Chain A
């Protein structure tokens, strides 16, 4: 049981380049989330999904797009990277319908630098 995994672990982009971050969970969770973590600002929600095929905006959605084509995967895309998107990105999942458990589990993070 790997929990929540993220790919890649590190990435350096030039301004204007695009990339996709992949999150996968093997806990059969209904909900998935993308956060960014910046020094002194805690974690801020970018986008989230309450089920396969659904997505919604969080607190800081601008410059990002997401897709959840399969229940176990949640993709975060940056179409045109900007230096302000330099951050550590965390994926999380929650809600085990069978256990009625709501705890959020986080992945190990992706450190992204945009130059």
Chain B
């Protein structure tokens, strides 16, 4: 059973545009929501993460929006650049003193075109 549903599967955005990737979760016990960025041939790297006590977190051009009542969270990439072309994974976990057993979404392949 897929506990974290991610959409879209692929996304093409023009340079300078806004990229938006959405995730929905089922387990209301989840309390940690990270986004990972993965380039071809590399391992995933943490991009930004949020906990449900805030509705939005921004780091540079990357913003997570979190809607606890709808059990949804999304990644917004402002002023998208070709270097942002990568696969993005959302994830969720129940905090356990650092033992964050992450449940991942299926990934979104983002392509930024000039």
Interface, chain A (partner B; CB < 8 A): 4, 30-31, 33, 40-45, 48, 50, 58, 90, 92, 94-95, 97, 102-109
The answer to the question of B101 belonging to the interface, with a C-beta cut-off of 8 Å to chain A, is yes
Nearest 6 CB-CB pairs, A to B?
A95-B98, A106-B43, A42-B104, A102-B98, A43-B104, A42-B106
The answer to the question of B113 belonging to the interface, with a C-beta cut-off of 8 Å to chain A, is no
Min CB distance, B105 to chain A, in Å?
6
The answer to the question of B61 belonging to the interface, with a C-beta cut-off of 8 Å to chain A, is no
In the assembled complex, which residues on chain B have CB atoms less than 8 Å from the CB atom of A43? 44, 89, 102, 104
Q: Which of A4, A58, A103 contacts B101 (CB 8 A)?
A: A58
Are A95 and B101 in touch, CB under 8 angstroms?
A: no
Which residue among A33, A44, A102 has the maximum number of chain B CB atoms within 10 Å of its CB? Answer: A102
* Nearest-neighbor residue (CB-CB) of B105 within chain A: A42
Are B100 and A94 in touch, CB under 8 angstroms?
A: yes
Assess A106 versus B44: contact at CB under 8 Å? Given A42-B89, A42-B107: yes
Which residue among A4, A31, A43, A97 has the maximum number of chain B CB atoms within 10 Å of its CB? Answer: A43
Interchain CA distance A38-B9 in the complex, whole Å: 14
Min CB distance, A1 to chain B, in Å?
15
Interchain CA distance A106-B104 in the complex, whole Å: 14
Interchain CA distance A58-B49 in the complex, whole Å: 22
Additional A-B contact list (10), CB under 8 Å, known A40-B107, A44-B104, A50-B99: A42-B104, A42-B105, A43-B44, A90-B43, A95-B99, A102-B98, A106-B44, A106-B45, A108-B43, A109-B43
Interface residues of B in 5-64 (CB under 8 A from A): 6, 9, 32, 34, 36, 41-46, 49
Assess A48 versus B89: contact at CB under 8 Å? Given A42-B106, A103-B46, A109-B42: no
Min CB distance, A90 to chain B, in Å?
5
> Can you identify 25 A-B contacts, CB atoms within 8 angstroms?
A4-B43, A40-B9, A42-B6, A42-B89, A42-B104, A42-B106, A42-B107, A43-B44, A43-B104, A44-B104, A45-B101, A48-B99, A48-B101, A50-B99, A90-B44, A94-B98, A95-B97, A95-B98, A102-B32, A104-B46, A104-B102, A106-B43, A108-B41, A109-B42, A109-B43
Min CB distance, B39 to chain A, in Å?
11
